[in-house]
Structure 1
């Protein structure tokens, strides 16, 4: 059987897993899909077809260097939802010359997510 890549799960390193879980659930509308460890040191959050893994920083690791760009539909109501929740925006909703309308947010550790809808 030929190799076939199935999925990719971006991993964001965070300094406080509980704080990160609250952010992704309460501000971005993700669900907490799973947690690993006791106390938890890794977790997965999901929304629709997107899954992100959150990894508690180990000694010597610096959190907050992750970036992803997510294509979606319904961007205007989602942008309003994020604004209402007090999400830190790093780029406002705007039409871009490459044929998308997009915006970007930042989690409490500095990991960034761009959300885009094709025009």
Structure 2
């Protein structure tokens, strides 16, 4: 029987660049870090992992829309700070019927949605 979801993993080629993006630019709280993987959101029942694609089956999973959405407090200010830091937006901040949303890309092209609610 499945007890819970442990984590969701985004595969990257450049772990050092991913570390800057996720840890410093998105300011995600680190739960665990190794040479090949960083897990975020300590204390949560599940984490977001960013891992180096080391296996042939993981290579095609680098650089795509992940389906991951992060809720952000004060999304306008957050997106402004990301823009100033040189983060690439796949979709700019806009008002949608379900709230404000933007989609950012990590250095390997993985897309993460940001929403205000």
User: Where on the TM-score scale, by shorter chain, does this alignment land: which range?
Assistant: 0.7 to 0.9
Task: Indicate the structure with greater strand content.
Answer: 1
The alignment status of 1:107 with 2:89, answered yes or no, reads no
Gaps of 5+ in 1: none
Runs ≥4 in structure 1, deviation > 3 angstroms?
none
Q: Report 1:91-106 matches (<5 A).
A: 91-97=91-97, 99-106=98-105
TM-score, length of structure 2 as denominator length: 0.78
Q: Report 1:5-44 matches (<5 A).
A: 5=4, 9-36=7-34, 40-44=35-39
Residues 14-43 of structure 1 deviation map (CA, whole Å, 9 limit, x = unaligned): 10211210121232222443223xxx1111
Check whether the contact 1:89–1:106 (CA below 8 A) recurs between aligned residues.
Answer: yes
Gaps of 5+ in 2: none
Q: Report 1:21-100 matches (<5 A).
A: 21-36=19-34, 40-46=35-41, 51-60=47-56, 61-62=58-59, 63-65=62-64, 66-97=66-97, 99-100=98-99
